[in-house]
Amino acid sequence: KQEVTQIPAALSVPEGENLVLNCSFTDSAIYNLQWFRQDPGKGLTSLLLIQSSQREQTSGRLNASLDKSSGRSTLYIAASQPGDSATYLCAVRLIQILSYNTDKLIFGTGTRLQVFP
Amino acid sequence: EAGVAQSPRYKIIEKRQSVAFWCNPISGHATLYWYQQILGQGPKLLIQFQNNGVVDDSQLPKDRFSAERLKGVDSTLKIQPAKLEDSAVYLCASSLDGGKETQYFGPGTRLLVL
């Protein structure tokens, strides 16, 4: 059974710091891994998606890496800003060989980030 | 492009009552998902539709939860009767055609069962 763990559970940092959020998963047979952002009272926004054959993806100040063999991914946030305050979730998409278009996402419990001025 | 719409945004009920949530996916999206997110946890998939057919409902508590997507567009999720442990945010998401397509999430319905 795939389990996804995120550490730390919460993080509070001053503005300008570089951050690393960690995600680990128990089964390396994944299709891809995705990082989401969740703001209070709002849905999830996809930040980065890494295919299983890729090692990293970048978007602006965000960089996500994937080491499938060790079951780990990291989300790097450069020069953090108060607007980055949110909960960050990672999710792995399982390989569903026998079922057409089933694409179950298994989510971690999230890291709640607070960036203060 | 309009996003995924959900209603109501908040609902408070007493245990053993019934409740229904509505979701309207992004236009043209064939795949629709319902997730349950309990406080402090990540979302958990309850049911996945491909058009109006169920693809995966393995984690749906079928003794009390039901969902339908009759015309392959909008969907309703019902809980009858509700239990205290059903208190959670219910998220709806849609994607163009499932598989490797990105899922787009709605704002969620926050349910409190007293």
pLDDT computed for residue B64 by the predictor: 97
Name the band, by pLDDT with cuts 50, 70 and 90, for residue B71.
Answer: confident
- Residue-wise pLDDT tens digits, A83-110: 999 999 999 987 765 555 456 789 999 9
Q: What's the pLDDT band for A56 if we cut at 50, 70, 90?
A: very high
Q: Name chain A contacts of B46, Cβ cutoff 8 Å.
A: none
In the DSSP assignment, the letter for residue A68 is T
Q: What is the pLDDT of residue B2?
A: 80
pLDDT at residue A12 is higher than 90: yes
Which chain A residues have a beta carbon less than 8 Å from that of B95? 103
User: Residue A34 in contact with residue A90, Cβ under 8 Å?
Assistant: yes
How far, in Å, are A51, B25, B45, B60, B63 from residue A101 at the CA level? Answer: 16, 17, 15, 18, 26
User: What is the sign, positive or negative, of the torsion defined by CA atoms of A97, B34, B16, B64?
Assistant: negative
Give the neighbor-by-neighbor strand order of the sheet with B5-7: B5-7, B19-24, B75-79, B65-68
- Find which of A31-35, A49-53, B46-50, B82-86 is predicted with most confidence, using mean pLDDT: B82-86
Size (chain B), residues: 114
Whether residue B25 lies within 8 A of chain A, CB to CB, comes out as no
